[in-house]
Structure 1
Amino acid sequence: MEEEKQNLPEGQKAALRRRRRWLTCCGATVAALIGVALVAVILAFTVFKPKQPVTTVDSVGIKDLAISVDLLRLRLDINVTLDVGVSVKNPNKVSFRYKNSSALLSYRGREVGEAPIPADKISAGETKPMNLTMTLLADRLLTDSHLYSDVISGQVPLSTSWKISGRVKALKIFPIHVVSAASCELTLFVAKRTVGNQRCEYKTEL
């Protein structure tokens, strides 16, 4: 084979040398690209591995409370507005963008109010505070037979819940879906106009 190459005209020999250099260059380029891709994947799932945002309920208080009895209609009217302080920490090395969502207020399993959570972004390592104003819609409780006895006893059970979902991008290449949720059971003490017996649960998932 080598003897045949030696017998080739100089023009063909030069063409073969150029082809070998081109193949060598292409091989080196492909190997470099594969190496860079492997490093990027390793970094994406180690150093830059996406972590779940951490939601914490910092405070729950009463902003407004009004209770009245309509004797003509034999009806109890109650209006409650809660101020809920929440913080969401993004432990990732990249920003976390989340979609529009809502915080829900419930009474004995029935949804009685909500507050919007507008879409936004939380920068890398940032803890973002959120102040949610949740108002109980009294008309949704007009037919609930438990409300009167709860108000008379001085303790009204309520619960709040919300879910924030969005994406983080490892190395700004690989989008990862992330969900952070929280729910709290609490008691409204009518006479004291306070909130207590608060029990919260947190859930995060990738």
Structure 2
Amino acid sequence: MPSNNRSYRKGLKLCCAATSIFIVIFIIISLILFFTVFKPKQPHVIVHPPSLQHIEFQLFPVSLNVTLGLVVTIDNRNYGSFRYKDTITYISYHGTSIAEVPIEHETVPARGKLNITTYANVTAVQLISSPYFWGDVRAGQFNLTSMATLHGKVGVFKILKMGATVSSTCDISVHFISQDIESKCHSKIKL
């Protein structure tokens, strides 16, 4: 009977050692994959030239409201999808907020692109009353800044889900003589 007990203990020790080695190897491989292949990459955000949807002008009292149709492309280079909540993007002109852009909740697929179609209601009176306005008119270019923060969840292989925040700032140059728009966006993801 004692020899059976010894062989049982020896088998149990071998099983525990093999399991421990397997767990250590699994953790090492998971860490290597997380810091290389699955390492979060910053998404690319592209603002496409807007289209004029509606313009409203009133002489007394002076008011000018413009609605622009916008298309924003989010290029997700990560292996995880990103589902974000409803948010608002703010567009400012020399530090003064001139428009709010609603963005409805959506999911950006893993390693995919998402086109967001939305609109911006620009309060042009704030634009015109800026001390920079007439100088920019003479220069033929308006420089705007848009800021958005998307709160949501990242899902990897539909198994692992964690909270994430994507912040995006875009510098937009509107050349109104050539009717050309340039945008440079910088995005950061925080898990």
When residues 142 and 201 of structure 1 are mapped into structure 2, their CA distance, relative to the original with a 3 A threshold, is closer
When residues 88 and 164 of structure 1 are mapped into structure 2, their CA distance, relative to the original with a 3 A threshold, is farther
SS at match of 2:40: coil
**TM-score normalized with structure 1 length:** 0.72
Q: What is the count of residue pairs matched by the alignment?
A: 187
Task: Identify the residue that residue 79 of structure 2 maps to in structure 1.
Answer: 93
Deviations 1:114-144 (A, max 9, x none): 1221222111122100112011246x74994
Task: Identify the residue that residue 61 of structure 1 maps to in structure 2.
Answer: 51
When residues 195 and 143 of structure 1 are mapped into structure 2, their CA distance, relative to the original with a 3 A threshold, is closer
What does 1:10-25 correspond to in 2, within 5 Å? Answer: 11-25=1-15
Task: Identify the residue that residue 35 of structure 2 maps to in structure 1.
Answer: 45
Counterparts of 2:52 and 2:71, CA distance in 1 = 12
Task: Identify the residue that residue 109 of structure 1 maps to in structure 2.
Answer: 95
When residues 204 and 186 of structure 1 are mapped into structure 2, their CA distance, relative to the original with a 3 A threshold, is closer
Task: Identify the residue that residue 166 of structure 2 maps to in structure 1.
Answer: 179
C-alpha contact 1:50 1:176 (8 A) present in aligned 2: no
Shift of 1:26: 1.1
When residues 83 and 186 of structure 1 are mapped into structure 2, their CA distance, relative to the original with a 3 A threshold, is farther
Counterparts of 2:147 and 2:113, CA distance in 1 = 17
Counterpart code for 1:117:
I
Shift of 1:87: 0.4
Task: Identify the residue that residue 120 of structure 1 maps to in structure 2.
Answer: 106
Shift of 1:82: 1.1
Q: Structure 1 regions of 5+ residues with no counterpart?
A: 1-10
When residues 78 and 147 of structure 1 are mapped into structure 2, their CA distance, relative to the original with a 3 A threshold, is farther
Counterpart code for 2:168:
A
- Which has the larger Rg? 1
Counterparts of 1:162 and 1:132, CA distance in 2 = 15
Identity of aligned residues (%): 25
When residues 27 and 143 of structure 1 are mapped into structure 2, their CA distance, relative to the original with a 3 A threshold, is same
When residues 158 and 61 of structure 1 are mapped into structure 2, their CA distance, relative to the original with a 3 A threshold, is farther
Shift of 1:184: 3.5
When residues 161 and 179 of structure 1 are mapped into structure 2, their CA distance, relative to the original with a 3 A threshold, is same
**TM-score normalized with structure 2 length:** 0.77
